[in-house]
């Protein structure tokens, strides 16, 4: 099994896809979170700002969870070994993200379903030398629970911002969270509903705290959520989650649906 050195950090992508019964069946929407990993090293404080990540190496693996949904393609460690503990770390990361997906399901669009989690090992130049670990749900456990017609237009998304102690552009990150349910937009005000805002903020705070506390359940490895600025092995440590009360526009969507046109002639 090949070993790949020079890994800077992990990148976890959460992806949604239009349900096969919906008009958006070919479209996907996703958000990604990056994290440095420590192996018994000092975990940086929230106030650390810019932080040099210890980095590590990954070993190709082909490990499929027997009873669930995961296909792990690599183990992450500081000594080039794929051992139970690096897999345990990866498993803990996956579980935390699945918990976040569960927490968000009451606010996501009914026409979409949770599609995949993808874990990429990323080098300092932004490339990934291995196949990602892919977690695919086998049932509807993680799908939005909103009513069948509850879908806001898919380009409408809530921007969740990540703050750090690094007070420059390199220290600010954001994701587009969506597609959302219809009532995520308050129809009396045209603003992002307060419940959706609170859920989003608390979900990511819980996720980030959980990643930083993995060590107690999976050896000494810890995930430190960061805003990465490539190229390199430095990331700014996330210390706050922000969201505002206006919906934003997600312009990049994969597999965009072809619209159907209605036409009225003047003659």
Contact residues toward another protein (CB under 8 A) are: 22-24, 46, 109, 111, 148-149, 151-156, 163, 179, 182, 185, 187-191, 197-198, 201-202, 205, 208-209, 238-247, 249, 251, 257, 259-267
Phi, psi of 159 (to 5 degrees): -90, 120
Tell me the closest approach of the beta carbon of residue 254 to another protein, in angstroms. 16
| Parallel, antiparallel or unpaired: strands 28-39 and 156-164 | unpaired
> Considering beta carbons, is residue 18 or 132 the nearer one to another protein?
18
Q: What phi, psi does 209 have (nearest 5°)?
A: -65, -40
Is the alpha carbon torsion for 136, 138, 140, 141 positive or negative? negative
Alpha-carbon distance 10 to 245, whole Å?
30
Q: Which is nearer to another protein, 79 or 209 (CB)?
A: 209
Q: Which of 83, 198 has the CB closer to another protein?
A: 198
What minimum distance in Å lies between the beta carbon of 60 and another protein? 34
Q: Are 114 and 16 in contact (CB under 8 A)?
A: yes
Q: In a 3-state reduction of DSSP, which class is residue 38?
A: strand
Other Cβ atoms within 10 Å of 248 Cβ, number: 16
Cα–Cα distance measured from residue 120 to residue 131, given in angstroms and rounded to the nearest whole number: 7
Contact 29, 154 (CB under 8 A): yes
30 vs 239, beta carbon nearer another protein: 239
Beta carbon of residue 244, minimum distance to another protein (angstroms, whole number): 4
CB of 126 to another protein, least distance (A): 26
Please tell me the distance from the alpha carbon of residue 246 to that of residue 190, in angstroms, as a whole number.
8
| Closer to another protein by Cβ: residue 78 or 185 | 185
Report, in Å, the least distance between residue 150 CB and another protein. Answer: 9
Q: How far is the CB of 144 from another protein (least distance, A)?
A: 13
Q: Are strands 133-135 and 70-77 parallel, antiparallel or unpaired?
A: antiparallel
Nearer to another protein, 169 or 251 (CB): 251
């Amino acid at each position: 099994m090949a070993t790949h050195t020079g890994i800077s950090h992990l990148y976890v992508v959460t992806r949604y896809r239009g349900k096969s019964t919906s008009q958006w069946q070919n479209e996907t929407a996703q958000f990604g979170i990056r994290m440095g990993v420590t192996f018994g090293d000092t975990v940086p404080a929230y106030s650390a700002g810019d932080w040099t990540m210890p980095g590590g190496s990954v070993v190709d693996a082909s490990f499929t969870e027997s009873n669930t949904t995961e296909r792990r393609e690599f183990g992450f460690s500081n000594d080039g070994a794929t051992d139970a503990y690096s897999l345990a770390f990866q498993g803990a990361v996956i579980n935390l993200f699945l918990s976040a997906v569960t927490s968000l399901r009451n606010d996501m669009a009914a026409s979409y379903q949770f599609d995949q989690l993808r874990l990429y090992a990323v080098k300092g130049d932004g490339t990934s030398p291995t196949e990602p670990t892919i977690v695919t749900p086998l049932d509807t456990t993680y799908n939005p629970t909103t009513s069948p017609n509850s879908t806001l237009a898919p380009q409408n998304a809530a921007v969740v911002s990540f703050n750090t102690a690094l007070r420059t552009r390199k220290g600010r990150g954001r994701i587009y969270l969506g597609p959302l349910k219809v009532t995520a937009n308050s129809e009396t005000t045209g603003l992002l509903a307060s419940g959706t805002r609170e859920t989003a903020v608390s979900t990511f705070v819980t996720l980030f705290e959980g990643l930083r506390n993995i060590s107690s359940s999976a050896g000494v490895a810890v995930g430190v959520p960061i805003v990465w600025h490539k190229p390199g092995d430095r990331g700014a440590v996330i210390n706050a989650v922000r969201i505002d009360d206006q919906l934003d526009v997600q312009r990049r969507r994969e597999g965009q649906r072809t619209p159907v046109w209605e036409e009225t002639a003047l003659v």
